[in-house]
């Protein structure tokens, strides 16, 4: 780390701690409050690791059993990197904008921070490969408030030519191009992802340089990353070094050979399966944490978790215990500091809870489902598999098993 980068991080630390406090982030990740006692989720095994890999790809999971705050603390935020996280010097960093633009641009980090459209945006990020496998336990998921500037104003300042079709975002990290190899020679290219011009010009698409009031951690893309709220994590290119406006499709390996799903499309002749790129988040909720508190002579059980809808707000969350009827959960309001954001935390998850007192000693099942503002309901596994064929984008209901002690 350079001396200038170190000074910047020290200078922002006090403000960052105040910001974290405003979001309700405690010093300890596990906040045991009012005699609350955790109930065992039996589907966690020794296979689960928070840091699944120190190498490449680098994977860090969140232990959702410790979900007690609306914003994920920066040092606990999930990480998934296709490459080694590069060390970037803030003092020498440059973001370059080129391609089919009238005026190529270049920005220092300070110049980006000083732009007039600087703003905060609450965003839930989820890896499209987030799964309930024993080694992941849906832990590739986090929520926080990002600070950055609008991409639209930068593209307008550069001036798009009439040929512009897509906007490509290239990181400062390099990865091996698996398709192109000749003899013993290996080709390396910047990790990249492109989005359609209309998505790039969306007023909420931004270039972020801070998370929860502090500089973005290295594994999250310091000093600058792309942020497309409501989209899966693979689009949010980290360590952003170059923006290239293209006149055609970008066909990097993670664009057209990796992050794809087969989707069912209705036709007069029946369903037709089409290969499509992964993009926007699918409606989802998770039972993350179960606790109990003694009330008089009886235990009261609290089932809780997050729910998020990509670009559509959550309307309701329902819970079923032991296969019983769906019952309405209570949805918490976001912290006041987040609710005052321009989009009122539209892209952030909501935290919900459901309380019951009727759990006898032994094993029980609990499951949640989210309902969004358009009336869509989080699907069962069978319903999801009938719509999409992929190991990624799994937003099906996740039935959890718990063990209640006497």
pLDDT for the residue numbered 177: 67
| CA distance linking residue 33 with residue 20, whole number of Å | 19
pLDDT for the residue numbered 178: 65
> Contact, 368 vs 307, CB < 8 A?
yes
pLDDT for the residue numbered 382: 97
> Contact, 82 vs 178, CB < 8 A?
no
Residue ranges per domain, the chain?
Answer: 3-25+48-261, 284-404
Q: What is the 3-state secondary structure (H, E, C) of the chain?
A: CCHHHHHHHHHHHHHHHHHHHHCCCCCCCCCCCCCCEECEECCCCCCCCCEEECCCCEEECCCHHHCCCCCCCHHHCCEEECCCCCCCCCCCCCEEEEECECCCEEECHHHHHCCCCCEEEEEEEECCCCCCCCCCCCCCEEEEEEEEEEHHHHHHHHCECCCCCEEEEEEEEEEEEEEEEECCEEEEEEEEEEEEHHHHCCCCCEEEEEECCEECCHHHCCCCEEECCCECHHHCCCCEEEEEEECCCCCCHHHHCCCEEEEEEEECCEEEEEEEECCECCCEECCCEEEEEEECCEEEEEEEEEEECCCCCEEEEEEEECCCCCEECEECCCCHHHHCCCCCCCECCEEEEEEECCCCCEEEEEEEEEEECCCCECCCHHHHHHHEECCCCCCCCCCEEEEECC
Instruction: Write phi, then psi, for 334 (nearest 5 degrees).
Output: -65, 165
Distances (CA, A) of 342 to 49, 120, 126, 346: 37, 8, 22, 9
pLDDT for the residue numbered 228: 98
Fold held by 3-25+48-261? Sulfite Oxidase; Chain A, domain 2 (3.90.420)
pLDDT for the residue numbered 31: 44
pLDDT for the residue numbered 29: 32
The CATH architecture one would assign to domain 284-404 is Sandwich (2.60)
What's the predicted TM-score (pTM) here? 0.90
pLDDT for the residue numbered 115: 98
pLDDT for the residue numbered 257: 84
Tokens of 167: 């906007």
List all residues 6 or more positions away from 254 whose beta carbon is below 8 Å from its beta carbon: 82, 191, 192, 193, 234
Query: Which mean pLDDT values do the consecutive 10-residue runs of the chain (406 residues) have?
Result: 52 54 49 75 96 86 96 96 90 98 98 97 97 96 98 98 98 76 70 95 98 96 98 96 97 87 93 93 98 92 96 96 98 91 92 95 98 97 95 97 95
> Contact, 138 vs 398, CB < 8 A?
yes
pLDDT for the residue numbered 41: 98
pLDDT for the residue numbered 21: 63
Closest-CA residue to 191 (of 219, 162, 164, 171): 171
Q: Which residue is associated with the tokens 């989802």?
A: 284
> Contact, 225 vs 239, CB < 8 A?
yes
Q: Is 114 exposed, middle or buried (0-12, 13-18, 19+ CB in 10 A)?
A: exposed
């Amino acid at each position: 780390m350079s001396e200038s980068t170190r000074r910047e991080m020290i200078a922002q630390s006090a403000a960052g701690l105040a910001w974290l406090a405003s979001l309700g982030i405690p010093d300890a990740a596990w906040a045991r409050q009012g005699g609350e006692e955790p109930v065992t989720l039996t589907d966690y095994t020794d296979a689960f690791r928070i840091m699944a890999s120190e190498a490449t790809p680098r994977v860090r999971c969140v232990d959702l059993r410790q979900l007690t705050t609306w914003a994920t603390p920066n040092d606990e935020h999930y990480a998934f990197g296709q490459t080694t996280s590069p060390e970037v010097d803030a003092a020498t960093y440059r973001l370059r904008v080129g391609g089919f633009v009238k005026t190529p641009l270049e920005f220092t980090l300070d110049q980006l921070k000083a732009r007039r459209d600087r703003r905060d945006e609450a965003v839930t990020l989820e890896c499209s490969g987030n799964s309930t496998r024993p080694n992941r336990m849906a832990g590739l998921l986090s929520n926080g408030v990002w600070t950055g500037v609008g991409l639209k104003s930068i593209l307008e300042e550069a001036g798009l030519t009439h040929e512009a079709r897509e906007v490509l975002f290239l990181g400062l990290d390099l990865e091996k191009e698996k398709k192109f190899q000749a003899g013993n020679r290996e080709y390396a290219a910047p990790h990249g992802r492109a989005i359609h011009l209309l998505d790039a010009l969306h007023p909420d698409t931004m270039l972020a340089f801070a998370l929860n009031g502090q500089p973005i951690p290295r594994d999250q893309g310091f000093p600058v990353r792309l942020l497309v709220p409501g989209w899966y994590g693979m689009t949010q290119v980290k360590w952003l070094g170059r923006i290239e406006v293209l006149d055609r499709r970008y066909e990097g390996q993670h664009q057209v050979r990796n992050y794809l799903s087969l989707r069912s499309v209705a036709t007069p002749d029946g369903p037709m399966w089409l290969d499509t790129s992964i993009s926007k988040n699918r409606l989802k909720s998770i039972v993350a944490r179960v606790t109990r508190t003694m009330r008089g002579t009886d235990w009261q059980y609290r089932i809780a978790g997050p729910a998020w809808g990509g670009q559509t707000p959550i309307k309701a969350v329902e819970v079923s215990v032991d296969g019983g009827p769906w019952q309405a959960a209570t949805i918490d309001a976001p912290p006041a500091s987040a609710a005052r954001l321009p989009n009122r935390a539209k892209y952030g998850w909501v935290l919900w809870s459901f309380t019951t007192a009727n759990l006898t000693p032994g094993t029980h099942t609990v499951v949640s489902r989210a309902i969004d503002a358009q009336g869509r309901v989080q699907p069962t596994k069978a319903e999801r598999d009938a719509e999409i064929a992929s190991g990624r984008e799994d937003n099906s209901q996740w039935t959890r098993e718990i063990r209640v002690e006497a």
